[in-house]
Amino acid sequence: MTATTYNGESAEEEFPMEIPTDLLDVAKAKRQELLEAAANFDEEVMMMVLEGADVDIDTFKNTIRKATLTSEFFPVVCGTSFKNKGVKKMIDAVVDYLPSPLDIPPIKAYLNDQETDVVATDDGEFAALAFKVMTDPFVGSLTFFRVYRGVLEKGSYVYNSTKEQKERIGRILQMHANNRVEIDECRAGDIAAAVGLKFTTTGDTLVGEKSPKVVLEKMVFPEPVISQALEPESKAANEKLSLGLQKLSAEDPTFRTYTDEETGQTIISGMGELHLDIIVDRLKREFGVKVKVGAPQVSYRETITKSAEVEGKHIKQSGGKGQYGHVW
């Protein structure tokens, strides 16, 4: 059992180290608690724990995985995406513990408003879910999708059953962080990206051109919880700002942007301060727009809140007919 430490502002390097002496007893106690919790789901591990034998890491991981697949055990990992600490371990945990497409039950879908099942197999009619849209500076619009059933070949046509639009799959890319490899086909369980889809957005279902028009369960996105006002540092950047916000909101359904009709401010809304900080940073890096950020202005109004009794008189005499008024 070791600790992990990081070097660099964004944790570019990570390496193992001995657990500090003042934390060693706590770490051992917590590991024992984790072993005992996992032992409840595997008799072999239970016997090893009771006998005081060492549980090797592969057996330990397999036990956690089996319990996770049956939703009896929910692994929790810690880290910070802002500083890139713990992210690699989180991704490793996804591979180690979460189910592959063959481990999960059939996916619920809808055909003519009737519920149906989509089984993960290469032999069935093609069905996939678009889960992310992004703009790549080299290839343009990229639509990430996961294939739930069937096989998709490049150059083929698909049907967006959510928006009832036909799309052509010109190129299929397999993404590896910033690197991409062009592939000829993808199969059930694969995640890939299609180039240049015109109508497809996050949460849309793609099916074969002549396949049954099933619609996979829609993705539900939370409402934004924080808002900020944006103002470009120069008026000349207004057009770039509008274009950048339009593309970013198309990529991220949890990000919203609008113009306040009363104050004229450009408002952005998201899931937290870090979320909006990243949006502002991307506007600068990807679209060359520097902005000022502040709190949205409040459009104050006056209104009658209670009744009152007032009496007033107007008297004006400057020669000729005078003026007199009495109001109450």
What is d(CA 113, CA 78) in angstroms, rounded to the nearest whole number? 41
Examine the pLDDT at 298 and tell me if it is beyond 80.
no
* Per-residue model confidence (pLDDT) at position 271: 92
Identify the band that residue 299 occupies on the pLDDT scale cut at 50, 70 and 90: low
183-229 residue pLDDT tens: 999 999 899 999 989 999 999 999 999 888 999 988 888 899 999 99
Residue 300 is predicted with a pLDDT of 67
Q: In one letter, which amino acid is 171? A: R
Identify residue 293 by its one-letter amino acid code: V
Tell me the CA distances in angstroms from 54 to 30, 45, 48, 131, 209, one per residue in order. 15, 10, 7, 42, 55
pLDDT band at 153 (very low <50, low <70, confident <90, very high): very high
* CA distance linking residue 162 with residue 207, whole number of Å: 10
State how far Cα 149 lies from the chain centre.
Answer: 23
Helix (H) or strand (E) holding 14: strand 13-17
pLDDT of residue 54: 84
Using DSSP, state whether 77 is helix, strand or coil.
coil
Q: Locate 170 and state its tokens.
A: 């010109």
Q: Is 31 helix (H, G, I), strand (E, B) or coil?
A: helix
pLDDT in tens, 10-44: 777 888 899 999 999 999 999 888 888 888 888 88
Do the bridges between strand 3-7 and strand 323-327 make them parallel or antiparallel, or are there none, so unpaired? unpaired
Q: What are phi and psi for residue 242, nearest 5 degrees?
A: -60, -45
d(CA 114, CA 136): 38
pLDDT at res. 297: 65
pLDDT in tens, 247-289: 899 889 899 999 988 888 899 999 998 899 999 999 999 888 8
Domains (ranges, CATH) in the chain? Answer: 3-99 (3.40.50.300), 107-216 (2.40.30.10), 226-294 (3.30.70.870)
Question: Model confidence over 76-93: pLDDT tens digits?
Answer: 998 888 788 888 899 999
Mean pLDDT of the chain, nearest integer: 88
User: What 8-state DSSP symbol labels residue 126?
Assistant: -
pLDDT of residue 148: 92
> H or E element: which one contains 229?
strand 226-232
Query: Which has the closest alpha carbon to 191: 151, 160, 145, 155?
Result: 145
